């Protein structure tokens, strides 16, 4: 269990002075209003569990599980309580004493194993009609055959990257490198290079988002290198308390990075590690906490290279923005933006996506009320706490609808799925796209 | 155990619109933001969905002899809502409707669970102003503010919660409903119950509706940050500003320890090398704000401020005040357990109080950060310790006793705005004497004959004397 153990759990817990300021930002407290739904109350429960005053009953476990790990409380905590870390450690403690239950075990198994993930995606592609009910909604979502009312895009059956070999994007052919298990797209006159981490949601559920990211980067004359079936970042395992399992994932990913950047490869050691999924980015940033010695140093170097795609596009040369075209429709396109918790709260990226959207000619930007309010997705949270997630999601859907926007952009694939679903439930069609998809679309308008 | 289950079943029956919790989860309602008081998990937690349910629950508890602990956001700094195992916690944050904002009468009427900052936002959108702004206003509830007699940063010019309460509906200790006051500016019918209820800390009644007085929103504001090499010269600046007949809305002092803690959290540009800073805000009509701003700057320079900055942009100003509001919690970065006191002295004695606190810190070998509402004499000496070190906790308690003695010796009071709760109860006799305590007890008995409302708070135990 390395340096994270019961002793340090109590140390982390001691930082909380019980001021209760987390009530102001917790999306769950806002809906539930109970003291055990907010960080302060959960920390009291966790402390009592850790020092043996409380037994891990299902009731207590459920209360501790009712957390989106959105990190809003951490971001606004004046005392510096690291709730995300505490939550991971507490769930590890609970896993050890009670086990995880079948559904979570299965999800974490898939998340921890690249072949299992590819296998499940394949099965999903074959048997999706069993799991989903039609007809599809206006946005092309299918209803999951569960009473929870979840809507998802139709699974494609295979990962984005496995289908991308020798394919052409914006006139550039992708070349695979078996040794490093990666694909690269090198535009003529490349002015920079990035390693693009796609993440499982993009790889298996939202391939168009990944393609959009590649297209925009190529338009900006950036060489793009992606891993083939890169595997999981570790975030699902981490938030569910599989801390030592996450360390294994971290090692595997750092090994891959070392190979891609190693001798004989054509990837510069200083090129940024780019993310379209802020939760994956956050996972990479926790690697240094999980490892020791040389591995820790490597993890720190990798964490320092982590950049969100919107920040990278904003900071770099802006010539490519001249290629953005006005939307073809006669009526003006109104766009609003939802701040993902793991991008805005955790990484402080708020302005960059807005700046990019504002660069699209003819697009009118309309801020929604509380743009940084959580969407209620929280990874697997929405699956296991459907009722609370729905309340949070519907509040968000209302805020989006109130702007009158025809398109809502966001910087996170999980938020993108959740927002699309909540808008379907709210009975109001608004397109939901990742920031890079909006940009790719605006570049495409010029082509036609 | 069976009896406990019966009680819960009956509470559920009485609260069809609310929620009732029992068992392990009630532990989270044992404590508030006060350290070292060791609360217990209550018998049950009730979150009533209607006011009628509040009266029903209090009536049921009075009959059965269970204590009732009314609770808002649980941010009390005196142990006001610390629970015990034979009592029911009445969590009122679900009653959170603003019933009316009356622009003709300049009043707002709200349920007790409305969050203070949300009321601010709502009335300010209409060009109105509810001045009381306790440090925890982002989460604290209006009901909690009234029960604790909360103050805030704007106390110097605008007064405190007490000065804005025009009407109350309350449930007595027997579960009966009474209303006092209303929307009239003048009202001398009967005894002044409103003043009695404000600061009663849930021991005299459960507040279920509040009508507050509103003001027009000041047209202009200007914030000034003055930097001093020593806390003594900062205290002199505070005295100098008031002596110059300027009454700023806020006049806050932060010592070096507090500056560093706040800056570590907020990075809002406070000078971490300074001995102390004074934060001042003047508000009102634009002409008078400009004039008073000048005079404040001059007064600070006159006592040797090393730097005086005027915040021109509202974003910059908001950032400074938001940072100031986190001072308590930010100090918890230095050491995790915080004894935040609010012993208050007449404002002319502030420099003496500052020196007394420095002496006490040395005597007990403890870091004490001092910040607070210097302009109204309400400083917050804050002892930084660690609850895991029992020996240090003992020293901290001794230091707290010394701070109280110093404040009372300077003609002050135990608490300016946080209340007595559990934490300051042992010092009540020193402030009131046997006759005063006897009168307080008689009031309590009249309103709560069975002694079920927030039992064990405010009044000292009978063993300390003062009874009839």
Subunit contact A44:B27, Cβ cutoff 8 A: yes
Burial per residue of A292-303, b for 16 or more beta-carbon CB atoms within 10 angstroms, e otherwise = eeebbebbebbb
Subunit contact B330:A77, Cβ cutoff 8 A: no
For chain B, positions 337-356, list CB contacts with chain A under 8 A: 337-338
* Sequential DSSP letters for B153-186: TTHHHH--GGGGEEEEEEE-TTS-EEEEE-S-S-
Q: Give the HSE-up count for residue B27: Cα atoms under 13 Å, Cβ half-sphere.
A: 19
| A97: exposed, middle or buried (Cβ count in 10 Å: 0-12, 13-18, 19+) | exposed
Residues from chain B contacting residue A36 (CB–CB below 8 Å): 25, 28
Burial per residue of A355-365, b for 16 or more beta-carbon CB atoms within 10 angstroms, e otherwise = ebbebbeebeb
pLDDT of residue A107: 66
Q: Give the HSE-up count for residue B244: Cα atoms under 13 Å, Cβ half-sphere.
A: 21
pLDDT of residue A1: 37
Each residue's pLDDT, cut to its tens digit, for chain B (468 residues) gives: 567 889 999 999 999 999 999 999 999 999 999 988 889 999 999 999 999 999 999 999 999 999 999 999 999 999 999 999 999 999 999 999 999 999 999 999 999 999 999 999 999 999 999 999 999 999 999 999 999 999 999 999 999 999 999 999 999 999 999 999 999 999 999 999 999 999 999 999 999 999 999 999 999 999 999 999 999 899 889 988 988 899 999 999 999 999 999 988 888 888 999 999 999 999 999 999 999 999 999 999 999 999 999 987 778 888 888 888 888 888 888 888 889 999 899 988 888 999 999 999 999 999 999 998 988 899 999 999 988 899 999 999 999 999 999 999 999 999 999 999 999 999 999 999 999 999 999 999 999 999 999 999 999 987 776 554
Subunit contact B336:A33, Cβ cutoff 8 A: no
Subunit contact B28:A78, Cβ cutoff 8 A: no
pLDDT of residue A316: 83
Do residues B370 and B256 make contact, with C-beta atoms less than 8 angstroms apart? Answer: no
Subunit contact A44:B138, Cβ cutoff 8 A: no
- Kindly report the nearest CA distance between residue B153 and chain A, in angstroms: 17
Comparing CB atoms, the residue among A41, A59, A79 nearest residue B332 is: A79
Residues near A87 by beta carbon (within 8 Å), at least 6 away in sequence: A42, A64, A67, A69, A239
Do residues A432 and A139 make contact, with C-beta atoms less than 8 angstroms apart? Answer: yes
Subunit contact A63:B117, Cβ cutoff 8 A: no
Reply yes or no on whether the pLDDT at A137 is more than 80: no
Handedness of CA B315, B318, B322, B324 (dihedral sign): positive
Subunit contact A19:B332, Cβ cutoff 8 A: yes
Reply yes or no on whether the pLDDT at A165 is more than 80: no
pLDDT of residue A3: 47
Could you tell me which residues of chain A have a Cβ less than 8 Å from any Cβ in chain B?
14-21, 23-24, 33-36, 40-42, 44-45, 48, 53-55, 57, 59-60, 63, 77-80
- Kindly report the nearest CA distance between residue A234 and chain B, in angstroms: 29
Residues from chain A contacting residue B29 (CB–CB below 8 Å): 35
Residues from chain B contacting residue A60 (CB–CB below 8 Å): 24-25
- Kindly report the nearest CA distance between residue B9 and chain A, in angstroms: 18
- Kindly report the nearest CA distance between residue B337 and chain A, in angstroms: 6
Subunit contact B27:A21, Cβ cutoff 8 A: no
Subunit contact A14:B336, Cβ cutoff 8 A: yes
Comparing CB atoms, the residue among B19, B27, B94 nearest residue A54 is: B27
Which residues are paired to A173 by β-bridges?
A168
Residues near B2 by beta carbon (within 8 Å), at least 6 away in sequence: none
Subunit contact B74:A16, Cβ cutoff 8 A: no
Subunit contact A79:B35, Cβ cutoff 8 A: no
Do residues A260 and A226 make contact, with C-beta atoms less than 8 angstroms apart? Answer: no
Nearest CA in chain A to B384: A17
Reply yes or no on whether the pLDDT at A210 is more than 90: yes
Query: Could you tell me which of B176, B174, B193, B202 has the C-alpha nearest to residue B78?
Result: B202
pLDDT of residue A448: 40
Q: Are strands B250-255 and B44-47 parallel, antiparallel or unpaired?
A: unpaired
pLDDT of residue B408: 95
Reply yes or no on whether the pLDDT at A362 is more than 50: yes
Subunit contact B33:A59, Cβ cutoff 8 A: no
Reply yes or no on whether the pLDDT at A56 is more than 80: yes
Subunit contact B31:A44, Cβ cutoff 8 A: yes
Comparing CB atoms, the residue among B32, B94, B330 nearest residue A18 is: B32
Structure ipTM: 0.94
- Kindly report the nearest CA distance between residue A363 and chain B, in angstroms: 27
pLDDT tens-digit map of A75-130? 989 889 999 999 999 988 888 876 666 666 766 666 666 666 677 667 677 666 67
- Kindly report the nearest CA distance between residue B190 and chain A, in angstroms: 38
- Kindly report the nearest CA distance between residue A55 and chain B, in angstroms: 9
User: Which of B139, B267, B322 is the mutation pick for testing A, counting most A CBs within 10 A?
Assistant: B139
The model carries a pTM of: 0.89
pLDDT of residue B37: 87
Nearest CA in chain B to A39: B28
pLDDT of residue A205: 87
User: Which of B336, B384, B387, B396 is the mutation pick for testing A, counting most A CBs within 10 A?
Assistant: B336
End-to-end CA distance of chain B: give it in Å, rounded. 38
Nearest CA in chain A to B324: A78
Distances (CA, A) of B451 to B8, B174, B389: 21, 10, 36
Do residues A339 and A350 make contact, with C-beta atoms less than 8 angstroms apart? Answer: yes
For chain B, positions 260-289, list CB contacts with chain A under 8 A: 265-266
A134 — pLDDT class (breaks 50, 70, 90): confident
Comparing CB atoms, the residue among A59, A63, A78 nearest residue B326 is: A78
Subunit contact A24:B94, Cβ cutoff 8 A: no
Distance between CA A397 and CA B102 in Å, rounded? 31
């Amino acid at each position: 269990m390395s340096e994270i153990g019961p002793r340090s759990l109590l140390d982390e817990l001691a930082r909380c002075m019980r001021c209760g300021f987390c009530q102001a930002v917790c999306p769950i407290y806002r809906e539930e209003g109970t003291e055990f739904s907010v960080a302060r109350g959960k920390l009291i429960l966790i402390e009592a569990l850790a020092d043996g005053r409380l037994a891990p009953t299902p009731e207590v476990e459920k209360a501790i599980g009712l957390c989106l790990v959105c990190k809003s409380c951490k971001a606004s905590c004046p005392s510096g309580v690291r709730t995300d870390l505490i939550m991971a450690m507490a769930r590890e403690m609970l896993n050890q004493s009670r086990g995880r239950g079948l559904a979570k075990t299965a999800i974490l198994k898939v998340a921890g194993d690249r072949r299992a993930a590819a296998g499940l995606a394949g099965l999903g592609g074959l048997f999706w009609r069993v799991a989903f009910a039609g007809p599809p909604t206006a946005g092309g979502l299918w209803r999951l055959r569960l009473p929870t009312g979840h809507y998802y895009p139709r699974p494609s059956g295979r990962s984005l990257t496995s289908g991308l070999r020798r394919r052409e994007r914006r006139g550039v052919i992708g070349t695979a490198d078996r040794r490093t298990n990666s694909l690269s797209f090198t535009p003529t006159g490349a002015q920079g290079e990035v390693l693009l981490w796609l993440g499982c949601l993009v790889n298996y559920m939202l391939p168009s988002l990944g393609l959009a990211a590649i297209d925009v980067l190529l338009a900006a004359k950036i060489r793009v290198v992606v891993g083939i079936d890169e595997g999981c970042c570790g975030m699902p395992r981490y938030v569910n308390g599989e801390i030592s399992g996450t360390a294994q994932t971290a090692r595997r990913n750092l090994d891959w990075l070392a190979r891609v950047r190693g001798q004989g490869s054509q990837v510069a050691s200083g090129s940024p590690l780019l993310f379209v999924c802020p939760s994956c980015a956050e996972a990479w940033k926790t690697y240094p906490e999980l490892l020791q010695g040389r591995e820790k140093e490597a993890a720190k170097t990798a964490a320092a290279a982590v950049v969100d795609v919107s920040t990278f596009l904003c900071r770099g040369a802006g010539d490519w923005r001249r290629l953005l075209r006005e939307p073809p429709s006669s009526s003006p396109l109104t766009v609003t933006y939802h701040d993902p918790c793991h991008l805005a709260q955790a990484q402080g990226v708020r302005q960059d996506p807005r700046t990019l959207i504002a660069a699209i000619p003819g697009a009118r930007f309309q801020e929604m009320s509380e743009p940084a309010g959580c969407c209620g997705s929280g990874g697997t949270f929405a699956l296991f706490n459907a009722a609370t997630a729905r309340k949070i999601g519907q509040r968000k859907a209302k805020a989006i609808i109130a702007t009158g926007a025809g398109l809502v952009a966001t910087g996170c694939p999980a938020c993108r799925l959740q927002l699309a679903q909540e808008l379907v439930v709210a009975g109001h069609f608004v397109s939901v796209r990742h920031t890079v998809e909006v940009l790719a679309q605006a570049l495409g308008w010029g082509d036609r | 155990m069976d009896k406990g289950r019966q009680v819960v079943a009956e509470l559920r029956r009485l609260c069809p619109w609310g929620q009732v919790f029992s068992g392990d989860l009630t532990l989270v309602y044992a404590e508030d933001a006060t350290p070292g008081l060791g609360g217990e998990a209550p018998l049950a937690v009730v979150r009533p969905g209607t006011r009628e349910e509040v009266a029903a629950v209090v009536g049921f508890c009075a009959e059965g002899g269970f204590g009732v602990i009314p609770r808002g956001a649980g941010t009390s700094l005196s142990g006001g809502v610390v629970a015990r195992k034979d009592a029911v916690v009445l969590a009122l944050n679900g009653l959170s409707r603003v019933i009316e904002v009356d622009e003709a009468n300049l009043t707002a009427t709200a349920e007790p669970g409305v969050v203070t900052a949300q009321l601010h936002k709502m009335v300010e959108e209409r060009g109105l102003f509810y001045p009381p702004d306790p440090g925890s206003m982002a989460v604290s509830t209006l009901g909690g503010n009234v029960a604790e007699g909360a103050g805030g940063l704007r106390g110097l010019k605008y007064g405190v919660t007490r000065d804005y309460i025009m009407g109350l509906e309350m449930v007595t200790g027997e579960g009966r409903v009474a209303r006092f006051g209303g929307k009239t500016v003048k009202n001398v019918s009967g005894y002044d119950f409103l003043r009695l209820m404000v600061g009663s800390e849930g021991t005299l009644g459960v507040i279920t509706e509040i009508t507050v007085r509103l003001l027009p929103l000041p047209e202009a504001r200007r914030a000034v940050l003055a930097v001093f090499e020593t806390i003594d010269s900062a205290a002199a600046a505070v005295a100098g500003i008031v002596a110059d007949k300027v009454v700023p809305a806020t006049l806050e002092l932060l010592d070096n320890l507090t500056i560093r803690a706040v800056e570590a959290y907020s990075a809002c540009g406070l000078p971490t090398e300074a001995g102390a800073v004074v934060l001042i805000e003047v508000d009102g009509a634009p002409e008078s704000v400009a004039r008073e701003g000048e005079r404040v700057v001059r007064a600070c320079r006159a006592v040797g401020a090393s730097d005086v900055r005027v915040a021109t942009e509202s974003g910059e100003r908001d950032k400074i005040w938001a940072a100031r509001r986190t001072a308590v919690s930010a100090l918890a970065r230095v050491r995790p357990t915080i004894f935040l006191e609010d012993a208050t002295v007449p404002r002319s004695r502030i420099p003496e109080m500052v020196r007394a606190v420095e002496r006490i810190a040395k005597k007990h070998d403890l870091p004490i950060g001092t910040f607070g509402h210097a302009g109204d004499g309400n400083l917050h000496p804050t002892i930084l310790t660690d609850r895991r070190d029992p020996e240090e906790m003992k020293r901290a308690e001794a230091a707290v006793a010394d701070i109280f003695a110093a404040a009372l010796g300077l003609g002050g009071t135990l608490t300016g705005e946080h209340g007595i709760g559990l934490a300051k109860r042992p010092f009540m006799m020193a402030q009131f004497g046997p006759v005063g305590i006897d009168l307080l007890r008689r009031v309590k008995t009249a309103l709560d004959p069975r002694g079920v409302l927030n039992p064990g708070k405010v009044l000292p135990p009978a063993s300390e004397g003062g009874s009839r």
